[in-house]
Amino acid sequence: MTTKSALHIARATYQPKLPKALLGSVKVKEGEATKSVADQEEIKALFPNTYGMPLIQLVEGEQKNYPAFNVGVILSGGQAPGGHNVISGIFDGIKKLNKDSKLYGFLMGPSGLIDHHYMELTAELIDDYRNTGGFDMIGSGRTKLETEEQFEKGLQIIRELGIKAIVIIGGDDSNTNACVLAEYYAAKKYGVQVVGCPKTIDGDLKNNMIETSFGFDTATKTYSEVIGNIERDCNSARKYWHFIKLMGRSASHIALECALQVQPNVCLISEEIQEKNMTLDDVVTYIANIVAARAAEGNNFGTVLIPEGLIEFIPAVKRLISELNDFLAKNGEEFATIERNKQREYIISKLSKENAEIYASLPEEVARQLSLDRDPHGNVQVSLIETEKLLSNMVATKLAAWKKEGKFVGKFAAQHHFFGYEGRCAAPSNFDADYCYALGYTAAQLIAEGKTGYMASVRNLTAPAAEWVAGGIPITAMMNMERRNGKMKPVIQKALVELDGAPFKAFAAQRETWAKETAYIYPGPIQYFGPSEVCDQPTKTLQYEQAK
């Protein structure tokens, strides 16, 4: 560890809260059998050994003796605040069941399992990382677990270390991989369990059993603090429009939650833009109208929140990207041989007429960004597309035209920001510290009860932690079939912003007022110590969803 800050030292003494049912002896209460959210026959055929399992709730039970068992843990995908507390919860959970149980961390993500890079996680090491942000205890990575060769290589070290179960802490793709691994080991009757934990700051891994993914609370509070600082600066200088892009690969949950916390003048919601079939020009006109209306009142300043994945939700651009994804999946090698200055022309010649026209109309840099290397899942790397600059430039062009026509009388100057990495490794809020610890504790209990192919679940999250409900949901229950790298594959279905949901409705009811008035809220930094109403509140999203 590096030298500890005063906050780090103080936070080490914080004892995360647990659901009452996990404090003593526990038993499993099985609920109804499950089925996948869609494509039931296809998912069942792919996962015959882990499909249709029941929902699980952990309830208070009688004292039982558990034999010692060893567990391996993997941090997979992008960082999210609270990962260390999941590991701490697993460690404390298995030690409570039997003090001779051991926890091994596989280093730098799933590749650590395949390449046999690991370390035993001792009490001394765990204590150094309690309630801290980041994934630096064991590191993370994006290697996909998908081949029999990988599964068998992983099994070698699992057998060598006497590991009973692997816990994969990750998002939708990582937990899809966890399900594939669980199915393989179950089919082979290897006796190795696999349990997942729901991680992603994007907030798009959720359903009735997974009310929120861990890290979302801390990340959105971190972003909201900085946006609030910008709003205050904006309201002080009164001469800039700040275009702020926020992380969130697909869904707009982060942008929506931040908007509910800081009340910006404009917040774009990708799902609404798609629903209304808006064009890029429609989006630009919407922003420009608000800029012009505020300028007419003498307010030549404001804030605009933009979801990272916005460009993919504009229907015409989405169709273009879909064709580009398929084309590049099949012709990537040939495309790589084309000279850079001829790539645009080459792509235009290969696309359908409609998509070729849209691609040709895009600014050179944006068009290029759409054709850059894909991420490991075959998707456009939307974080590389500077949507905030694209929109502000197009708004400036439109306002200049309006000025010539006498429709705009103000001034327009823009500043640009992208908040992403700033929130992924923040010290977890009390909510995330508690939630993550409870998820780890739940995973330990699921393992002890012999479960595999499950994701740890902790619900009732707007109530005090003692009233939280711990359990598990079969990962197959969250899956559907989607096109990835040109092929249909089973994946966990992403949860997008629901336009008929309470959080969006609360936002939509207020946004016209926020557009006209300067109604900014300045949340300030995350509070770790103090009154519960300041320190322990869940996100606005959860509060609206559960009407509390």
Cα(461)–Cα(394) distance, integer angstroms: 42
346 phi/psi in degrees, rounded to 5: -60, -50
> In degrees to the nearest 10, what's the CA dihedral of 220, 223, 228, 231?
-120
Cα(139)–Cα(197) distance, integer angstroms: 16
**Is-contact 479 36, C-beta < 8 A?**
yes
Residues forming a β-bridge with 28: 58
- Cα 456–459–462 angle (5° rounding)? 145
In sequence order, what DSSP letters do the residues of 227-263 get, joined into one string?
HHHHHHHHHHH---EEEEEE--SS--HHHHHHHHHH-
Give the active site residue among 173, 202, 204, 434: 202
3-state SS, 457-513, equals EEECCCCCHHHCEEEEEEHHHHEEEEEECCEEEEEECCCCCCCCCHHHHHHHHHHHH
**Is-contact 451 472, C-beta < 8 A?**
yes
**391: exposed, middle or buried (C-beta count within 10 Å: 0-12, 13-18, 19+)?**
buried
- Listed in sequence order, the DSSP H helices in 251-314 are 253-262, 270-275, 280-296, 310-313
Distances (CA, A) of 237 to 230, 293, 410: 10, 19, 15
Q: Pairing relation of β-strands 102-106 and 70-75?
A: parallel
531 phi/psi in degrees, rounded to 5: -60, 145
Task: Kindly calculate the radius of gyration of the chain based on its CA atoms and give it in whole angstroms.
Answer: 24
Residue 458's Cα: distance from chain center in Å? 17
- Cα 168–174–175 angle (5° rounding)? 70
Q: Based on the residue annotation, tell me whether 217 is a catalytic residue of this protein.
A: no
Crossing angle of helices 340-350 and 315-336, in 10° steps, is: 120
Give residue for tokens 């500043």.
Answer: 415
**Active-site residue list:** 202
